Structure 1
Amino acid sequence: MPVLTISAIKHLKTLFFTMVLTLLSHQALATMPKVWSPLENFGANPGELSASYYFPQKNKSNRQSLSMVVLLHGCAQQGETLAKQSGLLGLANKHGFALLLPQQGLTNNIKHCFNWYSADDFSKNKGESLSIKHMITSLKQQIKADNVYIIGLSAGGAMASSLLVNYPDLFTAGAVVAGIPFPCADGLITGISCMKNGPSQSVPELVAQAQTLNPKQQTWPKLSVWTGSQDSIVNPLNSLSLAQQWTQLSRLTTKPKIEEKPAYRMTRWQNAAEEVQIELIEVKKLDHGIMVNPNVENGGEAADYLLASELSTAKHVIELWQP
């Protein structure tokens, strides 16, 4: 009978443990809950976008009231990654709301940006705008959501601005982060000008253009506007113009309440019920991106265009929108 050497025994032990670990790994993957589901058959898709969604376990077993948050990513980003890194996925689990993540494709835009500056895509019931609208209405009906909110970052923020103006009755509230007021651009050249210099239109002109698109609109969604004071990609003047545009659209005449902190300046306009209707949050000494606070639960994690701050954008707006 052959005698195994010590090295052969060690090799067999290594092989055995490798096989066990591989088996356990495959079993773990098989039993691991799938976070994202593809959104399919949502209707006409002229913008040729894709989407995924997340429905929280908390609401599957004990559903009373369900909200849905739409997240529009920035350029060169993947929506599912942004949802996790921003803290939004953890907040969805905690508070029990659904997430819808429209995703731009490489064939539409080489940098994976939503085409917020293209009339073929920002116009009501056209292109990417119509695709996103169909995604929202389809999933809302499918999961029987009561309220719809939208958060957009950078190019996604600019697209969120256009969706809020084009379909104000679709949303309860929105948050535009490092974005641009709508309508600001009508092509790539004017889009670049908006980014670098702010809108060429005055605030009253922006208000009038939005009202022309919605002549019978009496109430508008609540809005949270965010910018880094040193944003080098999208001029902070865009956020100021956006907040002022929505303040006038919402017919808010009382003076805003201003909270000045070493890390940020928060300006808030209240409605007749003394609720925050519009807010502008200017985060000091930060560049272009969404704010995260890794030091708090579900505050997000720092990464490219996810900027460590005293405030977490996702956590702040979700708590603001809680009834």
Structure 2
Amino acid sequence: MTSTGSPDQLSAQDAYRGRNYAALGDQYSFISIYPDSPNLADKCWDVSSNASLTHNGGGDALGIVSMVKWTLSEYQADPNRVFVTGTSSGAMMTNVLVGSYPDVFAAGSAWAGVPFGCFAGDGFAVWNDPCAKGEVVKTGEEWASLVENAYPGYTGYRPKIQVLHGDADNVLYPQNFQEEIKQWTSVFGYGEKPESTTLDTPLPGWTRYRFGPGFEAYSATGVTHDIPNQSNLVMEYFDLACDSSAEGSNCFSRKTEW
């Protein structure tokens, strides 16, 4: 599992201390990677450059993928059960990695982020104020084309993804949640209306919208940009408590068919 970052201006060490995935990994036998952004100004990831937004193009995205591939080789880990989660800039990078590297990741969980390509700009460390404020509005097809153009010709497995956002977020405005929904429902070919809606999950005031087996979205009433991570929800979504080494196990992986 890869955990990309935490709220802005926090280091990999902060993310390690602030999340309990390492301890959960000891319990359930999975590896956590905590990459650190080279951007010393605010520790945010490069989610704007053409390099990061292109498969094998370079940028921070390929740097993280390189860490994943090294870890898979070094520890003989399961390449079909690689997951990514993050908050804020880490959530943006989660969208980027799921979009640019569908051949690497099985699933993603993005907490208070923006759609793939929303921050696109000229080079590294670009702050896109219109995107942050929810002013970048596209059709689902337009958003989906950004994902598809990141890896032209790719027709294989698409990682499932869940996105979560507070409706009181005044850093990355809630319209970005709606744009993420349009993007990923279009990528998967799902309808605009959810197949199911569940209130008060995983917390009171949070609502889960499931659009299909590959995509779900959670809106958190009254929650700001400082959205509280729910590791149990992420563990369940990634099926990380499953013992993939057990004979006859049916753990979620990139081999799972939608």
So what's the TM-score if we normalise by structure 1? 0.65
Q: What is the aligned partner in structure 2 of residue 137 from structure 1?
A: 69
The 3 A distance-change label for structure 1 pair 190 and 111 is: closer
- Bigger fraction of residues in helix: 1
Q: Is the 8 A contact 1:228 1:284 kept in 2?
A: yes
Q: What is the aligned partner in structure 2 of residue 93 from structure 1?
A: 26
SS in 2 for 1:111: coil
- State which drifts further: 231-240 or 85-94: 85-94
Residue 110 of structure 2 corresponds to residue 194 of structure 1? no
User: 5+ unaligned residues in a row in structure 2: which ranges?
Assistant: 240-250, 252-258
Displacement of 1:76 after TM fit?
A: 0.8
| AA matched with 1:256 | E
Displacement of 1:85 after TM fit?
A: 2.0
Inter-partner Cα distance in structure 2 for 1:240 and 1:190:
20
Give the paired residue count: 229
Inter-partner Cα distance in structure 2 for 1:164 and 1:224:
11
Displacement of 1:151 after TM fit?
A: 0.4
Displacement of 1:153 after TM fit?
A: 1.2
Q: What is the aligned partner in structure 2 of residue 267 from structure 1?
A: 209
Which of structures 1 and 2 has the bigger CA Rg? 1
Displacement of 1:249 after TM fit?
A: 1.1
Inter-partner Cα distance in structure 1 for 2:90 and 2:98:
12
Inter-partner Cα distance in structure 1 for 2:6 and 2:24:
17
Alignment RMSD: 2.1
SS in 2 for 1:291: coil
Displacement of 1:139 after TM fit?
A: 0.8
| AA matched with 2:18 | Q
Q: How does 1:104-253 map to 2 (within 5 A)?
A: 104-105=37-38, 108-124=39-55, 125-146=57-78, 147-187=81-121, 191-214=128-151, 215-253=153-191
| AA matched with 1:281 | Y
So what's the TM-score if we normalise by structure 2? 0.80
Displacement of 1:265 after TM fit?
A: 0.9
Q: Is the 8 A contact 1:184 1:201 kept in 2?
A: no
Residues 242-291 of structure 1: CA distance to partner in whole angstroms, max 9, x if unpaired? 133112212234842101224211101233xxxxx211111111101342
Inter-partner Cα distance in structure 2 for 1:104 and 1:252:
34
- Bigger fraction of residues in strand: 1
Displacement of 1:103 after TM fit?
A: 0.2
The 3 A distance-change label for structure 1 pair 216 and 71 is: closer
User: 5+ unaligned residues in a row in structure 1: which ranges?
Assistant: 1-67, 272-276, 293-311
